[in-house]
Structure 1
């Protein structure tokens, strides 16, 4: 295959691997701020709107027609972007704007963007008024807040109906301010101290709102349209294009966290494996960064309501310097400050690595090699220039297999958890280490043409027992690898259902900016798409991620699952015939495994507490709920420790802090890897 095509497929797969957020985000303006009501579209933006519309209706994988249904979806998306929590518009006001959907066609086809700007100004002006009113109340009416109320507050109203009246909106904002004050007061601050901090936050939000420019409006509108087609098709402004291209080179600096704007917060989407934040160990996906400080004792500056690029600028800094992040947990119940030493996030930090897990079989110790692959990487330039020892996933894994075999391993596990993808070429060649030859993946373009990619070298580098571990964050190239291993019956796939991203994107240049557009879909060699369904493990472990919130199936307007003709017959392997026995032995064994029981308890707790929980607006009740949650977590940890013969903890605070440089598996990781090894040894015994 030509290198250009590999690069095209690499881009599409790497998008998810890097965790790049391409939702509408504000961009820093360096000129004087034009009043919101005076902002208007530029001639170049009018031209780009027409270009994007033409490309989507002619080059997207799906057969796109700009009809009333798509226009209605785009308009609903636009309002959802502008008022995501339904906290600004009443039902009648929202319906009045939705009634203007017919004007959307002229905006997209003819570039008549005044309609889009008018809607933006209408909604955002209401937000500005709400922020001003909130500041007035905080500054002058602190006594109006009741911290003994029996009311509860639901912060996430994305799935709620539009409020029927202004009174309902007033109640929401009163509860919201009370909630935010209580969140700060629970950190041992007085009401006055909490008020002063909240005032600064709202002033920042108001200031950022006043910095809105026409690029903000245009990008918001265009992405409301593009994501109505599918969630991975997006418009990139020139500045966003530059940032995207930097990230595509894997030249990341700072702390190695992928961020996106969500409402007024900067949310952590994912951590770059091996990066500074990942190594430090405290920052977690879904955390929201609410403050940033420089150096170990520098003052933390509130960043709620800031532009995403401004927050990133604050977090980035010279290698070896320290940044302090004040973060808020996703459930609004915990605030903490994290110190991270900045560093460059190099490809080396994301390279494949190995370890050995020991397990007991009939009283004898067996060694299972584990190779963790955080991403599918490839030095394209080194490959094209025939550079000696250029880096690639397959080359590294091949070397690691050799090293593990020198230690006489009894089986091999490929750990693809949290691997969001990367170079398709590497997923293809990696499969080739385990099969002699054959197809690996099918790629279908918008015209229905199917290309089959595979391995033809006729060699097998490792022919022993093989296991593959996946979870909900395993996507794209990971799904191609795991799916091919499963379709050939070459190895056992265990863990959680994977992400389900089976689409291919490419970048098209526009007269201003770029368009990331879905151009093709992936299919397994058995014919089914990985879209939505992902890869279903042969043996499923308790889930640690909410599939209703994470994964392609959780994305609005994602393309549907479908299938093409299979290129190999349905598998009838030894693994398939043994699944029932293997699962029975697995379930019997984990009943007595303290670490696996801890994994099950964590999974059950997540299931019991998923959704959008409300929080009490009563200070005492909120403190009691927090203590109850901490007690539940402590009980789970102590049951695990008791089963392992360890001393119980009196408090979670008594647990020894983890060494950020210690890469040993956590109890949950250990449970997953050890049990995968046990299942693999079961298969080896049954096969013999």
Structure 2
């Protein structure tokens, strides 16, 4: 059954667009839209390919037609700011079960009709807002009044009439001005920022052309199949790779549009943003500045490709990003991050090793740690049969041999923040830890199952193993972690992984290309890595909200399911020891100041994010900010006191020292080929869990099977 909830997250620009019609309409501002025969044929071709080649066997029928209508409306007006409830009711009555019939014939008129109404509504509203901001008799706000606005998606509703829309927009502008005031802007300066913002939105609205709107309409359909399927026009295709990863002379971040904001999905390992250390997944970019002195350009409401153009730039140039931090629930929180643009180099993604020494009270254990930031492979050198080609597996093999010489008692493979990469490398890396056997199953649209990705050699490392994951461990990371867990070769510890278990390919259509999901990954146990990801044997807290980041955050993500398992070995009797391992961990986490701190932080953020409304009373908002800072400082000082450290006198002192430590860590990691394992509470606890595993396995031979 198709999920009806409206998705407001898009991986390509889908905020404001123009549309196309067999007839031509000229607006008052000399804007014309018409659809072409080429676009009509492209629509029919895309519908055919979706129905025959997409992994999700989903007919384009009346049910999907209604869902497409909702998606298209949401792509045009994601914040429910321009359309009225009467418009939506009219669209549903007229088109809810008709889009499948019209588009199968190449008729795009319904989409055109909806866009025309949107264009007029948005133009009139933006002109009204601009006039109010420009006029001395316009918006005059009383920030002592008890008012609020809904902030949850479920609470957002279409205005019933113009009067209600006027009031919603008054509150919307008031909220924006108050947030800017709380970020140390004057009321007049805040009005200037908003005036520029809405003038820019009006200009961009008037610049939309038929190609933009054709993409919006078609992607309202493709996104119903899954969030990774999309239509790329010839113009979009040209910048696709750069726009999605910014990895070529950029900052190294994957971005997406969400409502009016550009949100960070993940950071590219080894990229400038990841090395700089301050930008985080789920941060929202609200302004971009060039160099150290360039004006910060407000980008709220901009299309994704336009924001990308501002962020991209030449190597060794500076870009400044003003963001709303993901860890803050306060809409007024702002942070400026300075990043030096650069290319993501293969050698900067290389695996690194380190050693941590921990005691269980009786013995000091020497534990090897290998951080694998990405599954990389120099394809060009590999194809040339260059014996010195660089790859994850070759680098880890070398590090394993070095750790073997140092006689480590156990090994931790750190896959935190590893967004994936080469499937071949995920397979060959697994080969270093298990003997011959299948690593992953791949099921195609045709339901045929391939098991060609296999371990083909005897294990190189045969000792105790733990794999550390978090919510940002995705794709190839999940294949490796899933195989280690299914073979019971080691423990998986950390946070539930991302859940990206599908494969896409680009296929030509009449004009442009279709990125389409054509297959799905399954573990040797038969479980899919899709949607659910890999569930750790022992769970750690993680500050990134799983509702904001991860495959399950997309409402049209393909579901988790199972196929038949394939025969595979069981190396350790994990089931016999996991209960005791968990019990020991639970005791430690109640006593460890770092874990107590993390759990309280998570609880604090969850409480803040659960708010349904945002106050428009300035004193209430100031008090909320102060209370939140006070709670965070109290939690941090509780941690410091428990560790015998001097408490911070203020939040500013804490932030200053935290920034200094971040800069020091970045400098150490950049200048050294060795892994820095200092001040990593999660890594230390993973080490203690590995020690527990070693001790329990050593209690008797009955604990070990087939190894």
Give TM-score, length-normalised by structure 2. Answer: 0.89
Structure 2 residue 39 is the aligned partner of structure 1 residue 81: no
CA shift at 1:89, angstroms? 2.5
Alignment correspondent of 1:43: 37
Alignment correspondent of 1:54: 48
CA distance in 2, matches of 1:437, 1:377: 22
Structure 2 residue 329 is the aligned partner of structure 1 residue 319: no
Alignment correspondent of 1:182: 178
Structure 2: runs of 5+ lacking an equivalent: 1-8, 19-25, 670-674, 699-707
Number of aligned residues = 666
Structure 2 residue 253 is the aligned partner of structure 1 residue 289: no
Instruction: Please give the secondary structure, in 2, of the residue aligned with 1:588.
Output: helix
Structure 2 residue 494 is the aligned partner of structure 1 residue 499: no
CA distance in 2, matches of 1:550, 1:613: 20
CA distance in 2, matches of 1:572, 1:662: 38
CA shift at 1:23, angstroms? 5.4
CA shift at 1:302, angstroms? 2.4
C-alpha spacing 1:246/1:185, structure 2 compared with 1 (3 Å): closer
CA RMSD after TM alignment: 2.5
Alignment correspondent of 1:13: none
CA shift at 1:543, angstroms? 3.7
CA distance in 2, matches of 1:240, 1:185: 37
Structure 2 residue 131 is the aligned partner of structure 1 residue 136: yes
CA distance in 2, matches of 1:321, 1:609: 37
C-alpha spacing 1:27/1:117, structure 2 compared with 1 (3 Å): closer
CA distance in 2, matches of 1:573, 1:365: 23
Alignment correspondent of 2:487: 488
Q: Contact 2:437–2:456 (CA<8 Å) still a contact in 1?
A: no
Query: Which residue, 7, 11, 23 being the options, matches 1:21?
Result: 11
CA distance in 1, matches of 2:395, 2:611: 43
Alignment correspondent of 2:562: 563
CA distance in 2, matches of 1:526, 1:627: 50
CA distance in 2, matches of 1:105, 1:448: 26
CA distance in 2, matches of 1:247, 1:194: 30
CA shift at 1:624, angstroms? 0.9
Alignment correspondent of 1:416: 415
CA distance in 2, matches of 1:103, 1:338: 48
CA shift at 1:583, angstroms? 0.6
Q: Where does 1:516-535 land on structure 2 (aligned, <5 Å)? A: 516-535=515-534
Q: Contact 1:375–1:421 (CA<8 Å) still a contact in 2?
A: yes
CA shift at 1:97, angstroms? 0.7
Q: Contact 1:57–1:63 (CA<8 Å) still a contact in 2?
A: yes
CA shift at 1:55, angstroms? 0.3
Alignment correspondent of 1:170: 166
C-alpha spacing 1:578/1:639, structure 2 compared with 1 (3 Å): same
Structure 2 residue 125 is the aligned partner of structure 1 residue 154: no
Q: Contact 1:204–1:303 (CA<8 Å) still a contact in 2?
A: no
CA shift at 1:643, angstroms? 1.8
Structure 2 residue 109 is the aligned partner of structure 1 residue 114: yes
Q: Contact 2:16–2:205 (CA<8 Å) still a contact in 1?
A: no
Question: Which 10-residue stretch deviates more, 409-418 or 221-230?
Answer: 409-418
CA shift at 1:571, angstroms? 5.2
Alignment correspondent of 1:334: 333
Structure 2 residue 688 is the aligned partner of structure 1 residue 678: yes
Structure 2 residue 271 is the aligned partner of structure 1 residue 275: yes
C-alpha spacing 1:194/1:321, structure 2 compared with 1 (3 Å): same
Question: Which 10-residue stretch deviates more, 674-683 or 19-28?
Answer: 19-28
Q: Contact 2:489–2:570 (CA<8 Å) still a contact in 1?
A: no
CA distance in 1, matches of 2:16, 2:239: 13
Deviation track 1:617-650 (CA, whole Å, cap 9, x = no partner) reads 1111111110111111111111121122111111
Q: Contact 2:367–2:412 (CA<8 Å) still a contact in 1?
A: yes
Structure 2 residue 651 is the aligned partner of structure 1 residue 661: no
Instruction: Please give the secondary structure, in 1, of the residue aligned with 2:452.
Output: strand
Structure 2 residue 471 is the aligned partner of structure 1 residue 472: yes
Q: Contact 1:470–1:495 (CA<8 Å) still a contact in 2?
A: yes
Alignment correspondent of 2:141: 145
Q: Contact 1:84–1:157 (CA<8 Å) still a contact in 2?
A: no
CA distance in 1, matches of 2:472, 2:30: 40
Higher relative contact order (CA 8 A, sep 6+): 1
Deviation track 1:648-681 (CA, whole Å, cap 9, x = no partner) reads 11122113122142448799x7121111110001
Instruction: Please give the secondary structure, in 1, of the residue aligned with 2:451.
Output: strand
CA distance in 2, matches of 1:26, 1:124: 9
Q: Contact 2:246–2:312 (CA<8 Å) still a contact in 1?
A: no
CA distance in 2, matches of 1:181, 1:89: 23
Deviation track 1:360-398 (CA, whole Å, cap 9, x = no partner) reads 222543222222222212122221210121111111111
Deviation track 1:304-335 (CA, whole Å, cap 9, x = no partner) reads 33332222222222222212222233542312
CA distance in 1, matches of 2:449, 2:549: 29
C-alpha spacing 1:336/1:546, structure 2 compared with 1 (3 Å): closer
Alignment correspondent of 1:553: 552
CA distance in 1, matches of 2:78, 2:215: 16
C-alpha spacing 1:665/1:616, structure 2 compared with 1 (3 Å): farther
Query: Which residue, 267, 283, 294 being the options, matches 1:298?
Result: 294
CA shift at 1:25, angstroms? 6.2
C-alpha spacing 1:152/1:571, structure 2 compared with 1 (3 Å): farther
CA shift at 1:247, angstroms? 7.1
Q: Contact 1:256–1:276 (CA<8 Å) still a contact in 2?
A: yes
Query: Which residue, 118, 127, 134 being the options, matches 1:123?
Result: 118
C-alpha spacing 1:188/1:502, structure 2 compared with 1 (3 Å): closer
C-alpha spacing 1:605/1:526, structure 2 compared with 1 (3 Å): same
Structure 1: runs of 5+ lacking an equivalent: 1-18
Structure 2 residue 388 is the aligned partner of structure 1 residue 392: no
Question: Which 10-residue stretch deviates more, 249-258 or 393-402?
Answer: 249-258
Instruction: Please give the secondary structure, in 1, of the residue aligned with 2:565.
Output: coil
Question: Which 10-residue stretch deviates more, 105-114 or 629-638?
Answer: 105-114
Instruction: Please give the secondary structure, in 2, of the residue aligned with 1:212.
Output: coil
Deviation track 1:507-529 (CA, whole Å, cap 9, x = no partner) reads 10123211111111111111121
Alignment correspondent of 2:217: 221
Structure 2 residue 206 is the aligned partner of structure 1 residue 207: no
CA distance in 1, matches of 2:431, 2:617: 60
Question: Which 10-residue stretch deviates more, 465-474 or 150-159?
Answer: 150-159
Question: Which 10-residue stretch deviates more, 265-274 or 628-637?
Answer: 265-274
Alignment correspondent of 2:88: 94
Q: Contact 1:20–1:258 (CA<8 Å) still a contact in 2?
A: no
Instruction: Please give the secondary structure, in 2, of the residue aligned with 1:414.
Output: strand
